[in-house]
Structure 1
Amino acid sequence: MNVHPCAVPRQEWGLPFLAEPKRVAPLRRTVRLHLTRWGLPALVDAAELCVTELVTNVITHVGVRTPTWIAVSMNVTHVRVEVSDPDAATRPKPLRPSSTQENGRGLSLVAAVADRWGVSPNDHGKTTWCELATGFAAPEARLGDPRDMRAEALLTLYGSRPLPAPRASRLSRATAEETAIGLIADLLRWLSAHDGDPDYALELAQVRFEAEAGAAG
């Protein structure tokens, strides 16, 4: 596969649903829509097949109407399809090519079209996932820049769990404002280094801030 530079930033989409046969077709259509919008029409057929088989696996082995979560993301080099369900005990596996059983053939198809696949436990059950190569080259890493490292550490901390609220701020208003501005600058620099759009991010952040401020007021 030829590798090309990618101008599209990381993308992701997710949706909770009840695992039922009638949900498969709408999920396929939604995945097709997102991949086309992300500039990856060549991966639509393989991604739709993976969605079909991973969701069908939940229906067959965990149960109809199981609360399930699907997530599709693109991190430049790969598209990742994840289907999560609450049954950690059932670990799907593909059948051998010579097997005459019907169950398990779907995962054999997933293994055939995907670059890699696997099953990962999580706090609420398990996630069955697969990855498809996009053909895009990864952006050059900017390692060693302390500003990027600070932003990366903050993003990791922010996404892990909410922090307890302090009883009183240790920062003066001027110091807090200067720190906040530096933080925003580091985050925008990190976003740009990872093929994001800082102007677009600022615009969305402003819209979200104004919406939340309006709701609170």
Structure 2
Amino acid sequence: MPLSGSNRLHSALDAPLTLWGLPALIDAAQLCLTELVTNVITHVGVKTPTWVAVSLKGAHLRIEVRDPDASTLPKPLRAPPTEENGRGLSLVAAVADRWGVSPYDHGKTTWCELTTGFAEPAARVGDPRDMRAEALLTLYGSRPLTAPRTSRLSRATAEEAAIGVIADLLHWLSAHDGDPDYALDLAQVRFEAEAGAAG
């Protein structure tokens, strides 16, 4: 999301963290987000286009701040006790479980991760297919599905969202002159082949 104003920045975290059952992380997440954005403003420029992404990644809450300047990579400074500035990344390092910078062709993403206390999903952790499906179902449903799925209710919610996605995709195929039955058969064959190869 594009940014403007620190109050909007803080309130942007309240809803998803509350929805995800992580209200205890709001203060720490707001501190980290504020420091990462302040770092862009201070070292890249006040009017620099900046984007924020907040997501659940396994057992961690991940906060990403992206800007278009790949030449200025953030690093913690050792600020003297009398200095008001220069402690932002040190604060992030102290509060977050881990943090880093990922440069790319047209900028960089500075990120940090906070421990949620959720159990790491046991099956296929890091599998790109699972990660894509989690992202799609989270966007599609009313709540994120990367939270612990240990209860029958949370598993049922995830299954219901997945069935809804599949049904809507079949409707979309039908509306665009596709053959839903053929697509479903091919998807089943592909799933069984991939499951057999993995197993």
Q: What TM-score comes out, normalization by structure 1 length?
A: 0.61
Q: Secondary structure at the match of 2:50?
A: strand
Of the three residues 57, 73, 76, the one matched with 1:94 is: 76
Query: How many residue pairs get matched?
Result: 158
1:16 and 2:17 aligned? no
The DSSP-based 3-state class of the residue aligned with 1:139 is coil
Tell me how far apart the structure 2 counterparts of residues 212 and 59 of structure 1 sit (CA, whole Å): 46
CA distance in 2, matches of 1:61, 1:47: 21
What SS does the aligned partner of 2:123 have?
coil
| Preserved CA contact (<8 Å) 1:81 1:129 | yes
> Structure 2: how far apart are the matches of 1:52 and 1:142?
33
**Matching residue of 1:3:** none
List gaps (5 residues or longer) in structure 2.
134-144, 150-154, 178-199
Residues 125/152 of structure 1: CA separation in 2 closer, same or farther (3 Å cut) = same
Counterpart CA distance in 1 for 2:120 and 2:93 is 23
Picking from 49, 52, 56, the partner of 1:74 is: 56
SS at match of 1:93: coil
Q: Is there any run of 5+ residues in structure 1 with no aligned partner, and where?
A: 1-14, 144-148, 157-190
CA distance in 2, matches of 1:127, 1:213: 40
Corresponding letter in the other structure for 1:38: W
Equivalent in the alignment of 1:120 = 102
Match in the other structure for 2:160: 199
Structure 1 position 155, deviation (Å): 5.4
Distance in 1 separating the partners of 2:89 and 2:99: 9
Structure having greater relative contact order (Cα 8 Å, sep ≥ 6): 1
1:118, 1:129 within 8 Å by CA — same for their partners in 2?
A: yes
Higher strand share: 1
* RMSD between superposed Cα atoms in Å: 3.5
Give the distance between the partners of 2:28 and 2:7, measured in 1 at CA: 14
What percentage of aligned pairs have identical amino acids?
57
Q: Is the 8 A contact 2:124 2:130 kept in 1?
A: no
Q: CA deviation at 1:103?
A: 3.6
Instruction: Give the match for residue 152 of structure 1.
Output: 129
Letter of the structure 1 residue corresponding to residue 159 of structure 2: P
**Helix, strand or coil: the match of 2:10?**
helix
